[in-house]
Every structure is written in structure tokens, then in C-alpha cells.
Chain A
């Protein structure tokens, strides 16, 4: 019997399955409705997801979707984090090095890293994002071909690394060597494109909180990326989200991993400075 699955979706591990079922069982014993777990029934405090006038996309979600993100066992994005954890510890390449060979415990060495990216890289002489930082390490230290953008592997290891910063405030630098990239990203954010002639700002700045059909417009914050997007039924990068939005306004998207999107990512991430890293976020 073949079960149709998304090819980019890592397999569930038995242990996690058991954990989820145990939570559901406790829910049943407590008289909660099916699908609810004790974690989900806790009241939701949004204050951690708001910084000044900055509001995470989390605050625009339904309580059900927020509960799904909060639930370590139910959050589908945790499957990619698990896969990333395996990649972190896998000895690969001509010298048999794993990420852990150099960086040891990710929970210590990677804590705070995702909050600082995209960032200027001296070696590349340009701003790079977390995916590209990981691929550089892979090429230079492990002697391997980079992971393809949006591959299961690159999403997994990126989600794993970013997950180590969960709860830490975004703090990207926009000045100094990053200033040119930041400026280009800002221009992209405010430039109207496509047949519908819309820039990011027209919705995500000028009309936040209004509804498109039935859905509220968020500020377009990217502090939860990579996110599990329910529409996609898979994890996706910020660049995939940019491309999706570009196509929604009937514009030609840039390539995933292009400098245009890295610049836009830096500007977009700077708008989230102060908001917590949520990776893996869950979004509609």
C-alpha cells in the first residue's frame, strides 16, 4: 500500500507519534474534546509576540493555529527540526565531519545565531542569509556540494539551527557593511510590481488588520521562518513566501536564494527586530 506524502516531508519518528498519542489520551481522560491536548487548552498570552507597534504573524492567527504552533508534538514543523538534528550530527564528506565536530552542542553554539541573520559575510563580501551561511560551512568545512534551496535538507538544518534561538529577540544589523543590502531590500519592499501593481508595503504596512476575503492582513513579519504553512502542507523559507506573494500580485518572482531576496529578507527581518524567533512557526 502506498501512502501519498509530500516528498519534502521527513518521516515521523515513532517516539514522537507515541508522545502525541499520549497527550491526546490525557486530553480524553480530562474530558477535553478530541484533538485538544492539555497544552492547547492553556490561555494564550500574546504579549510575548508584540514589541512596540510590531506584531508577529502569530497574533493574527486563530487560537487553534496558535495552539498548534505552541504544541511541541503537534507542530508539524518539528518534523523538519528533527531531521535537521540528524543532519547536524551526521558525519559526512571526505573528512567525515559533522556540524557537531566543530560546533559541538547546537543548543549552546547556535543560540542567538538565527536572530542575527541575514548578516554581512566578509568572505563573500555581501550579506548572506542563514541558509547560505550553512551551505558555506558545508562547502568549506565539509567539502560537500551545497544543499539545494528549499530542499528537505536545507529546510531541515535551517529550521534546526533557528529553533535554537526560539524566544530570543530578532536583532539584525542594518548599518555598516550591511547598509547597501538593507537599502536595496527597503526599495524592493516599497516598489509596486506585477499586473496588480502592488508593493509589500501596500498591504503589510498600509492595510494591516484589514481583511482580504476572510483573512486578516498581517505585518508580514518573518520571525517565525522557516514556517510550516498550512496552505502548502510543508515547511517553507522566507524566500518561498516572497515568491508566493510576488506571484499573487502577478509579478515575476526572483529566484530563491537570489541576492534580491536576501536583501529583501534583511529589510523584512529588521522590521521584526525585537520580536521573538518562533521557528518553526505555523501559518495559515
Chain B
């Protein structure tokens, strides 16, 4: 094997390992305790302000496609009603419970229509654009949890 092809082979291997490492980082490790995930996926709490954007943006959480959420900037006709209203959700669920419901609600209810927003296993025929990637990053999950925790008032 020539020095040149040896070097080429090595660089391919390094690139492959780097890709694997990058993919592994896409999904945070977490522990489920009593129907919740007690520790933030990123090790720190998120931003409610960014979390509101995650809830609304169709390329992020897109929560409003199925849920009503008290967000004044969004016209009332723009919410879906497949899932329950999230008004007052912080009074009904704890922070760890909210986190697990976003990360992988199917761990609690396997038949639910709600996607697992931070899981890449047990999926099939995923579009090449999204293969190996969770719907929401660990940081986006934490931002969303932080936002949902502000929704303490029940629906009027």
C-alpha cells in the first residue's frame, strides 16, 4: 500500500469516526425516574422565550399543530385540537413529567399519536434529511420545558 493511499484510508476512517461521534451527540442520555426525567438533558435549564418559538415554529416543535396554547401572538384559528390544551399544563404536570412527555411520550403510552421528540431508535423509513436526528435537540427540549412551566393558569 502506498503512503498516499494509506493516508487517504486513515482520513476516511477519522471522518467516519467523527460522524459516528457527532451522531451519538444528537441524542442526550437520560434516566427515567417515576414517570419523568428529573435532570435537564443539557445539564442546565432552558429559556422560556426560546421555548415559545420552539412551540410555534413548524420546523421545530410545531406543538400548535395539535395543541391549543395560550400564546397571544398566535391567532386562535391557527391551533389544532388533536391533543389537549396546554393551558395550565404546569399546574398538572411536574418538570420531570413534562420532560419525558416531550422526549418520548410513547414510553408511557405506546399507542399515542404524539411523536417522540428526542429519540432516533425504533423508527422506519425516515427521510434521508432527518435520519439519525431527533425532532428536537436537547437544548430545544429544555427550552420547551422551560416555556411549558410558565403555563400555570388553567384555561378560562
A: residues with CB less than 8 A from B are 191-198, 202-203, 206-207, 210-214, 217, 246-247, 250-252
4 closest Cβ contacts across the A-B interface? A193-B125, A195-B130, A196-B115, A210-B82
The contact sample of 29 A-B pairs, CB cut-off 8 A, is A192-B124, A193-B123, A193-B124, A194-B123, A195-B115, A195-B126, A195-B127, A196-B115, A197-B106, A197-B116, A198-B113, A202-B113, A203-B113, A206-B113, A207-B82, A210-B80, A210-B82, A211-B79, A211-B80, A211-B81, A212-B65, A212-B66, A213-B64, A247-B127, A250-B127, A251-B126, A251-B127, A252-B125, A252-B128
The answer on a CB contact under 8 Å between A213 and B79 is: yes
Q: Knowing A193-B124, A194-B125, A250-B127 touch, does A213 contact B113 (C-beta < 8 A)?
A: no
The answer on a CB contact under 8 Å between B115 and A197 is: yes
Nearest CB of chain A from residue B13's CB, rounded to whole Å: 28
The answer, yes or no, to whether B135 is at the interface (CB within 8 Å) is yes
**Closest residue to B82 on the A side, CB-wise?**
A210
Question: Chain A residues near B116 (CB, 8 Å)?
Answer: 197
The answer, yes or no, to whether B77 is at the interface (CB within 8 Å) is yes
Question: Chain B residues near A203 (CB, 8 Å)?
Answer: 113
The answer on a CB contact under 8 Å between B123 and A197 is: yes
The answer, yes or no, to whether B129 is at the interface (CB within 8 Å) is yes
Question: Chain B residues near A191 (CB, 8 Å)?
Answer: 124
Question: Chain A residues near B115 (CB, 8 Å)?
Answer: 195-198
Question: Chain A residues near B124 (CB, 8 Å)?
Answer: 191-193
Nearest CB of chain B from residue A182's CB, rounded to whole Å: 21
B: residues with CB less than 8 A from A are 64-66, 77-82, 106, 113, 115-116, 123-130, 133, 135
Total A-B residue contacts, Cβ distance less than 8 Å: 65
The answer on a CB contact under 8 Å between B127 and A207 is: no
Cα separation A198 to B113 with both chains bound (whole Å): 7
Question: Chain B residues near A195 (CB, 8 Å)?
Answer: 115, 123, 126-127, 130, 133, 135
Beyond the given pairs A213-B64, A246-B125, 16 more chain A to chain B contacts, judged by CB atoms under 8 angstroms and listed by A's residue number, are: A193-B126, A194-B130, A195-B126, A195-B133, A197-B115, A198-B113, A207-B113, A211-B82, A212-B82, A214-B78, A214-B79, A217-B82, A250-B126, A251-B125, A252-B125, A252-B126
Question: Chain B residues near A197 (CB, 8 Å)?
Answer: 106, 115-116, 123
Question: Chain A residues near B129 (CB, 8 Å)?
Answer: 250
Instruction: Identify whether the interface residues of A are mostly helix, strand, loop, or mixed.
Output: loop
Question: Chain A residues near B133 (CB, 8 Å)?
Answer: 195
**Closest residue to B124 on the A side, CB-wise?**
A193
Question: Chain A residues near B80 (CB, 8 Å)?
Answer: 210-214
**Closest residue to B116 on the A side, CB-wise?**
A197
Question: Chain B residues near A192 (CB, 8 Å)?
Answer: 124
**Closest residue to A196 on the B side, CB-wise?**
B115
Question: Chain B residues near A193 (CB, 8 Å)?
Answer: 123-126
The answer on a CB contact under 8 Å between A250 and B130 is: yes
Q: Could you say which of B64, B79, B82, B133 has the most chain A C-beta atoms within 10 Å of its C-beta? A: B82
Cα separation A203 to B114 with both chains bound (whole Å): 11
Q: Could you say which of B64, B78, B124, B125 has the most chain A C-beta atoms within 10 Å of its C-beta? A: B125
